[in-house]
Every structure is written in C-alpha cells, then in structure tokens.
C-alpha cells in the first residue's frame, strides 16, 4: 500500500450535497477531488463515530490498483469500489468511492401513498410480478434483457473470483441494475468483499432467504450458490419468488443445459456448483438465441407454467406473465 492511496480529510476540499446516509455513515459528493486512476464524479463515505472498519480497507484499495488496466476498467464498470482510504491522524474516518451513475436509479411510486420517489434500482425489482412492477413505475425487462443482466452478473463474479475475492453477501439489495444501453449490474457495499486468505473489512453476512446450505462460512462456493438463486429469481419472477429455491420455477426460461446448471448451482455439495465462467458461456449462447428472430428455442411454454413467458404480438419480445 503506497501513501498516495491514502487521503487526509483536508484533501477532500469542501464537501457537496449529502447523497445518502445510514446507521454507520453519511455519503457526500466530493466536488474538488480528482483522481488520475479513477476519472469521474466521486463521493466520500464518512463513518459515524465508532463505526469505521478496524482493518482491511487499505487492502481493498490496493487490490484494485494492482490489477492490469483492462481488469481495473472492468471492475470499475460494475462495482462501486473503494478508491482511497481517508485517515485522520492514523485512524480511518472515511473512504472515497465512485458516484454510482444515474442510469442505475429509478423514479417510482410508493405503494399506498402515490408519492413519487427516486432511488437505486435494486435487483430485487427483477423478482416481483411484472404487473406489479408496471403499477409502481418500475421497468418490465424483456426476457432477453433479464438474460443479459444475468450474463453481466456472471462476468462480474468471474472477474472477482479470478482475482481471489469472495463477494459473500450477495442479496436482493446490494446489486443494482440498468436496462439502458446494454443491461448490466452495479455491485454496491463492496467494503464487504473479502480477499481470500484475509479477514473481511466488515463481517460477511447472509441476508434472509439467501443462506447457503453451508451456513455462515462464506466462500466462492457460496457466491456461486447465491448466484444460482439470483438466476432462479430473475428468470422466474412473480409471487413468492423472493424466497424461492426450487429450480423448476425457472424451467420455462432455460433449456436443458441451463436447467442442469441451475440444479448444480443449488446443490448442497459445493463441488457441484458451476463456475461463473460456465454460466457466462451458457448465457452467451442463450442471449444469442433470445435475440435471434423467430427462434424455436424460445417457443411459448405450456399453459399453467409459473410465471411463464409469452411473446408480445406487437413487439415480438418475450415477457414474463403469471
């Protein structure tokens, strides 16, 4: 770790608007700070007294800076990764992060109140019944867009695993998605990512309904299990899918190869689970089939399949239905 990856509070200059806050920290825009290795808008996460992580942030910052330029650019494209540690008299008080692009935010209507709010477009919105998503002003992704989101998530996971990292707490809220341009994901709360062989910066947890069979010991194998849950819930949206673990729910969206991959991903045996690269190769082929005109691979499933997929007569796009 070199000193130029550390900042003092005075180097941040005057802080801009408050863009977010929680029980542990507040996040502000940083208007006057410029980083050669991370061009673009920045924010600083300032920890509340007693909530700064005791260890590990320097290692996460250094991990990014040791990547080759291509890998660093890819990491920056899908993760709000720690860029600099802010220390005051030797004690961590904050961390500089990239500002999450506005394309990962969404205006929506709060149920029951009719109030319009704008906030991050969390991947949990991919799991809800499409009719309900339309009702609250959330996007209704096509089948091909859902496949592309899964493909991008698999690519992100592959890069992290290749560079000896464990995401740990994959869940419905710590990844965002967008559909504009090429559908993609953005990982947030990256200070929970652990470098293999090291202690995590903050404790890695299992969110409710995302617990792997192994329990609380998190690893790349548990990442692959949770990714399987994400694929299941993204491709089989609808009622009660946020707790679903039965791979049959997504059978209508997957061919034989995909069904086998999903069943292996949700195996109680960690060694059975396919690597993120295996998922990526399969999803590449599945996306190509989804975008191919009049593909027989995407014929409508039998009636009664939940949620099922039907072709929109006007656009020709496949959409999930109950």
DSSP string, 74-93: HHHHHB----EEEEETTEEE
Position of tokens 């691979």?
297
The percentage of residues in the chain with a pLDDT greater than 90, rounded to a whole number, is 66
Q: Which of 6-20, 56-70, 145-159, 306-320 has the highest mean pLDDT?
A: 145-159
Termini Cα distance of the chain? 53
- At 299, the pLDDT band (50, 70, 90 cuts) reads very low
pLDDT of residue 127: 95
Least confident of 105-114, 140-149, 181-190: 105-114
User: What mean pLDDT do residues 303-320 have?
Assistant: 52
Least confident of 71-85, 157-171, 204-218, 240-254: 204-218
Computed on alpha carbons and rounded to an integer, the radius of gyration of the chain in Å comes to: 20
CA distance 121 to 105: 5
pLDDT of residue 80: 96
3-state secondary structure of 306: coil
Position of tokens 């991947």?
123
- At 309, the pLDDT band (50, 70, 90 cuts) reads low
- Residue, of 290 and 163, whose pLDDT is higher: 163
- At 114, the pLDDT band (50, 70, 90 cuts) reads confident
- Residue, of 183 and 111, whose pLDDT is higher: 183
pLDDT of residue 312: 58
Sign of CA dihedral 2, 194, 38, 32: negative
pLDDT of residue 23: 82
CA distance 185 to 170: 12
Per-residue pLDDT at 241 exceeds 70: yes
* Structure-token pair, residue 57: 């942030």
Torsion, Cα 219 222 228 229, to 10 degrees, reads -130
pLDDT of residue 306: 45
CA distance 114 to 82: 36
CA distance 288 to 292: 6
- At 168, the pLDDT band (50, 70, 90 cuts) reads very high
Least confident of 76-80, 132-136, 147-151, 206-210: 132-136
Q: Where are the beta strands (DSSP E) in the chain?
A: 6-7, 15-21, 25-30, 42-47, 84-88, 91-98, 105-109, 116-120, 165-166, 175-178, 184-187, 194-195, 309-311, 318-320
Per-residue pLDDT at 290 exceeds 80: yes
Q: Mutual orientation of helices 256-265 and 276-291 as an angle, nearest 10°?
A: 150
CA distance 62 to 109: 41
* Structure-token pair, residue 80: 């709000």
Per-residue pLDDT at 244 exceeds 60: yes
pLDDT of residue 71: 97
Q: Where are the beta strands (DSSP E) in 164-279?
A: 165-166, 175-178, 184-187, 194-195
Strand partners of residue 94:
46, 86
Per-residue pLDDT at 297 exceeds 90: no
pLDDT of residue 1: 41
- At 322, the pLDDT band (50, 70, 90 cuts) reads very low
pLDDT of residue 236: 95
Per-residue pLDDT at 294 exceeds 90: no
Strand partners of residue 273:
none
User: What mean pLDDT do residues 152-166 have?
Assistant: 98
8 contacts 86 by C-beta, under 8 angstroms: yes
3-state secondary structure of 94: strand
239: DSSP letter: T
- At 303, the pLDDT band (50, 70, 90 cuts) reads very low
Per-residue pLDDT at 150 exceeds 90: yes
196 contacts 223 by C-beta, under 8 angstroms: no
pLDDT of residue 62: 94
């Amino acid at each position: 770790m070199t000193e130029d990856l550390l900042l003092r509070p005075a180097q941040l200059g005057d802080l801009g608007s408050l863009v977010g806050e929680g029980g542990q920290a507040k996040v502000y825009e940083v208007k006057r700070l410029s980083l050669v290795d991370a061009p673009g808008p920045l924010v600083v996460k300032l920890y509340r007294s007693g909530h700064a992580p005791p260890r590990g942030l320097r290692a996460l910052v250094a991990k990014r800076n040791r990547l080759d330029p291509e890998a660093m650019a890819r990491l920056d494209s899908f993760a709000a990764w720690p860029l600099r540690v802010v220390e005051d008299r030797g004690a961590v008080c904050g961390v500089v992060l990239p500002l999450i692009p506005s394309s990962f935010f969404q205006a929506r209507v709060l149920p029951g109140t009719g109030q319009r709010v704008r906030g991050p477009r969390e991947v949990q919105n991919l799991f809800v019944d499409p009719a309900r998503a339309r009702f609250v002003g959330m996007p209704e992704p096509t089948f091909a867009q859902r496949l592309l989101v899964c493909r991008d998530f698999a690519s992100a996971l592959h890069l992290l695993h290749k560079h000896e990292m464990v995401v740990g707490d994959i869940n419905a809220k710590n990844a965002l998605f967008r559909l504009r341009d090429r559908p993609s994901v953005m990982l947030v709360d990256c200070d929970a990512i652990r470098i293999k062989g090291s202690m995590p910066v903050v404790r890695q947890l299992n969110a409710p309904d995302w617990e792997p069979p192994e329990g609380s010991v998190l690893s790349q194998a548990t990442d692959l299990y949770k990714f399987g849950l994400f694929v299941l819930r993204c491709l089989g949206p609808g009622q009660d899918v946020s707790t679903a673990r039965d791979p049959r729910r997504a059978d209508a969206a997957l061919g034989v190869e995909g069904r086998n991959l999903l069943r292996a991903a949700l195996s109680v045996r960690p060694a059975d689970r396919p690597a993120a690269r295996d998922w990526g190769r399969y999803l590449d082929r599945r996306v190509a089939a989804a975008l191919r005109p009049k593909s027989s691979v995407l014929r409508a499933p039998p009636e009664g399949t939940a949620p099922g997929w039907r072709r929109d007569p006007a656009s020709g796009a496949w959409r999930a239905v109950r």
